[in-house]
Structure 1
Amino acid sequence: MSDKRILQLLQEGEGLRTEFKKASTSLPKNLFETVCAFLNRAGGSIFLGVDDDGSVLGVDPASVGKLKTDLANLSNNAQKLEPPFILFPEEYELDGKAILHIQVPESSQVHRTNGAIFDRSEDGDYRLNNHGQVAELYNRKRAHFTENTIYPYLGFDDFKPELFPKVRNLIYSRDPGHPWLAMDDEQLLRTAGFYRRDFATNQEGYTLAAALVFGRDEVIQQVLPHYKIDALVRREDLDRYDDRAYIQTNLIEAYEQLMAFIAKHLPDRFHMEGDTRVSLRTKIFREVVANLIVHREYTNALPATLVIYRDRVITENANRPQHHGLLVPGQFSPFPKNPTIAKFFIQLGRVDELGSGVRNVHLFLPLYSPGRVPTFDDGDVFRIEIPLDHAMAEGSVHGVSEGLLGEHNVKVSERIAKVLDFVLEHPQATTAVIAEFIGVSEKTAKRDLKVLRDRKLIHFVGPPKSGHYMPTEELREILRNSRS
């Protein structure tokens, strides 16, 4: 925020979205009542070191660092602010005096401080004392999707261009006749709901969802500085980690990086659905990863985490709860957290219909990890726990890929096995789509595909430039025998 804009706000005075507070050496006692009220209403700016009339009093320069640290720690403490919403104040100097500016966005969640819920009006903060007021606040939040927040200065040049052909390849592999394939990039964004007009304010532009799905990494960090996904392995070093993937990229590639991290550290088992061999690891963890990134509340600074232990996998992400408790298949009504992002991931084939995640994990986990039951806890932090059996903990590998691929080094064999699994699950996949999924060049993909063709496991169908790969009848027979 510029000094000119700060001076303008100080001159306009306090109101629905502006609050001044004295703060010399410590945070004001009622600060979190205002933070809570702003989160629950329309967001706004809090200025520390400013009197009620807008005159600059200043913050003790020696105390600025402590105040900033205290605010970050307290806003991330559920005992002070529930659910937590971490805030980072900015320091400015006016008339030779230091002040702190706290930018508080509107939240899609209902927040409490010290057990009380506060709302905001032009006259200031006020506590909600009856059930009717609280119910009205919850109803208002349910209708608010922060993914639809418009960023009027976010432009097409802020998007990562190489994502558009990737998206088209994924859509094509699922539905070659999809209408989005005939659109140019900007038409696709508008049709997918990433560009909107707010008829209440007449504001229009690309949305937070557009930035998250297609944005360049540096753009995403400017829009959401707190955005990150932390994937860890904690089998030996429980205090820190054995391996880590720190992800701050767009959601399309974040999904791929998380699935690659899981494939690196968890073995696979396979299951026959009719004549089709499916990866149980993919069936289960595509749902887990989708929930982690598609249904996350992105205005909350809580990092999304995925942690692989010896006996379980646990994910946690900020959430806007609807049921407040454990979710059981058939006993809850699914509610979209980010419907535009979810709808888009459905078109990519990375998400099934709403509510499928809980159902599919419960269905396939007993085949992957016999005798284990997953848990889905719908709270301010959405928590999934996937228990693993002892064979999984030891990293044993299962599946009929073993023995089919001939003499190759381990790395190449693993890659070719991934190609085979992908063809089995996507029988209309082209070379370009396969290369994109595996993360190799088309030349390398063609070489791996030739290995599979030479062993009569797959065959090519259609014209050379637009054809696709299919499993052979010989492979289907091998799979039928392995099932029996």
Structure 2
Amino acid sequence: MKEQDIYKLLADGECVTLECKKAQKGVPSSLWETYSAFANTYGGTILLGVDENMVGEGQAKRFVITGVGEADRMRKDLWNTINSHEKVSINLLRDEDVQVVSVEGKNVIVINVPRADYTIRPVYINNNLSRGTYKRNHEGDYHCTEQELRMMVRDSNETGNDRMFLEYYTMDDIDIPSLERYRMLFRTDHPEHVWNSLEHKEFLVQIGGYVVNRKEQTEGLTMAGLLMFGKGLPVRDRFDNLRMDYIDKTNLIGEQRYSDRLTYDGTWENNLFNFIQNVLPKLTKDLPRPFRMEGVIRKDDTPQHKAVREALTNAIIHADLMLNGVLKVEKYDDRFVLTNPGLLKLPVEQIYAGGESRARNQRMQAMLRAIGYGENLGSGFPLILSAWNEKHWLKPELIEQPELMQVKLILHIETLVEEKPNDMSDVLKNVLKNVLKNVSKDVLKELTDRQKSILEFIYCTPTMTGQEMSERLRVSEKTVQRDFSAIRKLGINLIREGGKTYGHWIIKEQQGGE
């Protein structure tokens, strides 16, 4: 890392992945809280020898390079502390993760903290799991809640969540019609399989929905068995923390809130298999189905239909169904939004790239894969990206929302290339060509990359909120607000009409603007 790299980091300000500390007299004790927070969230960079002026505007005024005294001694102290395992639960740093960089003739220590693998989270300090575990939220470090701690501990178990034995839950709690519909699909895909001749309980044993422990003389349903095929009342009784909800908000008229909804209303047995079977046809019915024949059989399962099926499957197999939350599917005129409780076990970049899969609910994953739901070897998300790219629709957005303990997937079903290009650089060109016609090139050069991204967001998705932008950009809402102010000072007026939640943005040139 060089001096200009430090300036580039500081240009974006402190955020979810950057922390500055003055640290002139030695390694500050607060460094270890940030180390834990970065390791448990997205990873990040700590700069020792940089002081932040909270009232200053712009990089030159906001950050002051103070430098550290005796950089070599501080590096040695840092390594001695982290390797002793008395301060932190695990050392994630390699030699190249700690550097001394000369900035303005002063020494700045740069510490790059990687995101810890889910198998070794939580990372905590002071030998205190409950009080020494931190998370990163925008510009600060915060104690993890008990619920967040339990989630990380569960995730560290390689065998997944849904193998848990549920004492006192038996075959009496299974909705037999649901199980029979599943078995019919299984039989269609595997007509010669030996499991087809088994009784219901034995079949559930084979697919991981029921366990028999002869040593302890206990038997009963697993978490996977009850949630997938259980009767609604036992499911709600045991998992009262969880709700399943489908909302159709297409073709609304006037003050109408939704055009269709599937929730706990007593008309269906509330298990996950029924949820999938009810929701998937509703979700995909308006997607185009070209007429195609293979012999005498019509084939209309398009890549986009497969992608939606994959997205719904992913929402279930990656959800932390022991958290308080909602497994929600929303359908809009221009997008699908799928939300599931729990955070990502893998970095977003790795999920987009594919190649690895770390399902929380491995037995449910196997159950669904057996009837054609879900791809192998981590290829599911690339399948979604490929299907959307084929239609030139906007790239799907996978958004982690740590403050809500949930993950949101947005599948846009609009914006053809010829109407609104998917290429972000072309989008910005359209903003400048069609909206900001009279803003000078010299003024536009003052825009940072993040500010350009904000203009692109507003142009492509006018309904996007400031909070959603901060989540996409991984900075605080305050940072986004500061960018709004900077953009307006350049003569570009950003106006929010219709309210914070349900409104939309308009980009205008200010009258008499620069």
TM-score (norm 2): 0.46
TM-score (norm 1): 0.49
